[in-house]
Amino acid sequence: MTNAPGHKSYEVIVIGAGHNGLVTAAYLAKAGKQVLVIERRPHVGGAASTEEVFQGYKANTGATDAGLFLPRIVSDLDLESHGLGWVESPALVFAPQLDGNSLTLWRDPNRSVAEIAGFSKTDADRYPAFLRLVSRLAEVLSLMLTVSPPSLPEIRVGELLPWLRTALKLKSLGEHDMMEFLRFLPMSVADFLDEWFESRALKAAIGSSGVTGSFLGPRSSGTALMLLYQAIHAGKAGFRSSRFVQGGIGRLSQALAEVAIQHGAEICTGLEVSEIILDGNNASGVRLGNGERIDARAVVSSVDPQRTFFGLVGAPHLEVRFVREVKNIRLHSSLARVHLALSGLPSFPGASQAGPGGNLSGHILICPDLDYLERAFDDAKYGRFSSRPLLDIVIPTLSDPALAPPGKHILSIDAYYAPYALQEGGWDEKRGELLDVVLQTLAAYSPGITNLITNTQVITPLDLEREYGLTRGDIYQGQMGLDQILMMRPVPGYGRYRAPVKNLFLCGAGTHPGGGVTGAPGYNAAREIMDLRTD
């Protein structure tokens, strides 16, 4: 990686070296294109980075889990030969309750069944069938990840043909499961789980993944779909796809960068793109922060659509109707992140095996029941961060001790919900209050944890915007509600990674299929670009 581009012109410039931008760059480079990737931050990865947050402590500053990452990309790009190793924690979710009890859902469903029986015998009996159903339905969704949305309402056979596989898969589910799929698509995760289970703790442990990245409560339509999305590729683990990267998720981004470079791409970090240069209605290059101009036959932006079109292209260059659509993209912050340096491993009553491979090795969820989560969302609706937030916690040092000094730990928290626009005050002033609320909540479930804390870092929605370029702190670059997916994403009529400007493409989470560390938008964008005849 370098600090300055080696040439004045390239075939393709990719703006942003987040994981999607890197996937696009790697595939294009592998196909023989001359690619330059420009990244504003000092290193690659974007929101899939592992950075030194305190001296001697590295944290996954953005995403912590790479369970959704497409296996196809791993094999196409041979990432495992480039240092990518996986950690499959034995525990998926550890859900402590306020009464000292806890529910652990293990990757091994049989162990989970035994645990669940402690809460409800009927739920334990139904759990395997639930996992089977989720797995079957998630398989249908997984087929949709790597095809470009058709440009409805126009019907173009060429665009619809790749969807045939998905349609056939849906039909192959059989009438009963196919109808269940259609029934579940618009459901709330609360209703979905109420049909299956009675235990509140179990429903919360499973259902909280339905609000990932979303400004929605568990009673909102669309959260059942998000649960299924988060279960793509989960396989036997069933309800939630979870895999950590050895050395931190940043290693995934680094492996992608290495592959791209190996195939001839150039990656420049510490450089900002200030403008996408237009020649008439054609993207002809970019201007850097230092004023330098780099030409390109095509420009691909992994940055969110609003920032791309308003920040880099400029609204005056775009049609009024398109501008209005982009302006109306629903971007919402759902979470804030907190990283804690700990002098030792925290204890959670009920976590009988605290060490590596034990109850705490996966996600720790502070969310005793779905009403708790719904109330947390109520706060956010009116412009406050939740006074009793959902905390999705990972202690990566349990599987990767090298991330911190010996015996010490890093604890990373996704705290829901943190709305971008606060009713009172601003995020810079509220940072401390947020930390207090999070620590108070945590301490109620892990007594004594505050004594272990040696350092803290809070990433507010405003920080997500400023530091990671995520407009309004929306980690998915646009909410994944049913109105903003498929051919509606990022805006209707532009669901196939193109823009109204010729030779300008989008490849970030703001495009289909959406967010999470999947690499799918980057993959699809690369395919679309390669399928085109460049003139």
Partner 1 sequence: MMPVEYDAIVIGGGHNGLVNAAYLARAGKKTLVLERRHILGGASVTEEIFPGFKFSVFSYVVSLFRPEIIRDLNLTQHGLMILPLESTLAPLPDGDYLYRGADHYESYRNIARFSPRDADAYEDYSRSMYFMAKAVKYVLGIIPPDPASLHLNDLSGLARMARQFLNLDGDQFYTLVRLMTMSSADFLERWFESEPLMGTLSASGIIGTFLGPRSPGSAYVLLHHYMGEIDGVFRAWGFAKGGTGAIAGAIASSARALGVDIRTNAAVSKIIVQNGQSVGVALENGDEIYARVVVSSLDPQQTFLKLIDPALLPDELVASVRKYIYRGSSGKVNLALDAPPELACLPGPGPHLRGAISISPSVDYIERAYDDAKYGDFSRRPYIDVIVPSMIDPDMAPPGKHVMSCFVQYAPYHLRDGNWDDQREAFGEAVVDTLAEYIPNLKDIILHRQVLTPLDIERTTGLTEGNIFQGELSLSQLFFLRPAPGLAKYRTPIRKTYLCGSSTHPGGGITGAPGRLAALEILKDWQP
Mapping DSSP to helix (H, G, I), strand (E, B) and coil, where does residue 216 land?
A: coil
369 vs 463, which CB is nearer to partner 1?
A: 369
118 vs 186, which CB is nearer to partner 1?
A: 186
Is residue 371 close enough to count as binding partner 1 by CB under 8 A?
Answer: yes
Number of residues that bind partner 1 (CB under 8 A): 34
- Contact indicator for 245, 86 with CB cutoff of 8 Å: yes
Q: Which of residues 20, 220, 359, 399 is near partner 1 by CB under 8 A?
A: 220
Shortest distance in whole angstroms from residue 193 CB to partner 1 = 12
183 vs 293, which CB is nearer to partner 1?
A: 183
Shortest distance in whole angstroms from residue 112 CB to partner 1 = 24
- Contact indicator for 364, 348 with CB cutoff of 8 Å: yes
Is residue 90 close enough to count as binding partner 1 by CB under 8 A?
Answer: no
Piece in contact with partner 1 (CB under 8 A), picked from 198-206, 257-265, 377-385, 398-406: 377-385
Shortest distance in whole angstroms from residue 40 CB to partner 1 = 31
Is residue 198 close enough to count as binding partner 1 by CB under 8 A?
Answer: no
Q: What are phi and psi of 349, to 5 degrees?
A: -55, 135
Element (H, E) at 253: helix 250-262
Shortest distance in whole angstroms from residue 500 CB to partner 1 = 14
Q: Which of residues 78, 80, 125, 195 is near partner 1 by CB under 8 A?
A: 195
Of the candidates 512, 442, 510, the one whose C-alpha atom is nearest the C-alpha of residue 479 is 510
Please give the Cα distance from 159 to 148 (Å, whole number).
Answer: 8
Residues 6+ apart with CB under 8 A from 176: none
187 vs 341, which CB is nearer to partner 1?
A: 187
Mapping DSSP to helix (H, G, I), strand (E, B) and coil, where does residue 69 land?
A: coil
Q: Which of residues 1, 74, 160, 178 is near partner 1 by CB under 8 A?
A: 178
Residues 6+ apart with CB under 8 A from 291: none
288 vs 315, which CB is nearer to partner 1?
A: 315
Q: What are phi and psi of 473, to 5 degrees?
A: 65, 20
Distances, alpha carbon 29 to alpha carbons 72, 121, 450, in Å: 17, 54, 48
226 vs 341, which CB is nearer to partner 1?
A: 226
Is residue 482 close enough to count as binding partner 1 by CB under 8 A?
Answer: yes
The alpha carbon of residue 148 and the mean position of all alpha carbons in its chain are separated, in whole angstroms, by 19
Element (H, E) at 59: strand 57-60
Shortest distance in whole angstroms from residue 220 CB to partner 1 = 6
222 vs 516, which CB is nearer to partner 1?
A: 222
Of the candidates 80, 84, 77, 524, the one whose C-alpha atom is nearest the C-alpha of residue 261 is 77
Is residue 166 close enough to count as binding partner 1 by CB under 8 A?
Answer: no
Piece in contact with partner 1 (CB under 8 A), picked from 24-32, 34-42, 60-68, 173-181: 173-181
Q: Which of residues 45, 96, 481, 519 is near partner 1 by CB under 8 A?
A: 481
Burial of 291 (C-beta count, 10 Å sphere; 0-12/13-18/19+)? exposed
The two three-digit tokens of residue 37, written as one number:
């990737």
Is residue 152 close enough to count as binding partner 1 by CB under 8 A?
Answer: yes
| Residue 300 β-bridge partners | 14, 505
182 vs 532, which CB is nearer to partner 1?
A: 182
Is residue 6 close enough to count as binding partner 1 by CB under 8 A?
Answer: no
Piece in contact with partner 1 (CB under 8 A), picked from 25-33, 274-282, 358-366, 487-495: 487-495
**Relative orientation angle of helices 223-230 and 189-196, to the nearest 10 degrees:** 70
Is residue 488 close enough to count as binding partner 1 by CB under 8 A?
Answer: yes
Strands, E assignment, 112-210: none
Of the candidates 426, 432, 487, 485, the one whose C-alpha atom is nearest the C-alpha of residue 461 is 426
Shortest distance in whole angstroms from residue 460 CB to partner 1 = 23
Is residue 382 close enough to count as binding partner 1 by CB under 8 A?
Answer: yes
Is residue 187 close enough to count as binding partner 1 by CB under 8 A?
Answer: yes
Is residue 153 close enough to count as binding partner 1 by CB under 8 A?
Answer: yes
Of the candidates 41, 187, 14, 62, the one whose C-alpha atom is nearest the C-alpha of residue 515 is 62
Positions in 302-321 near partner 1 (CB under 8 A):
none
Per-residue binding string, partner 1, 489-528, x by CB under 8 A, is ---xx-----------------------------------
Piece in contact with partner 1 (CB under 8 A), picked from 35-43, 58-66, 217-225, 513-521: 217-225
- Contact indicator for 150, 487 with CB cutoff of 8 Å: yes
Shortest distance in whole angstroms from residue 134 CB to partner 1 = 17
Is residue 191 close enough to count as binding partner 1 by CB under 8 A?
Answer: yes
Is residue 328 close enough to count as binding partner 1 by CB under 8 A?
Answer: yes
Please give the Cα distance from 327 to 352 (Å, whole number).
Answer: 50
285 vs 473, which CB is nearer to partner 1?
A: 473
- Contact indicator for 193, 134 with CB cutoff of 8 Å: no
Residues 6+ apart with CB under 8 A from 304: 331, 469, 470, 471, 474, 477, 478, 508, 509, 510
Please give the Cα distance from 176 to 180 (Å, whole number).
Answer: 6
Shortest distance in whole angstroms from residue 324 CB to partner 1 = 9
Sites of contact with partner 1 (CB under 8 A):
152-153, 155, 175-176, 178-179, 182-187, 191, 195, 216, 219-222, 328, 330, 371, 374-375, 378, 381-382, 481-483, 488, 492-493
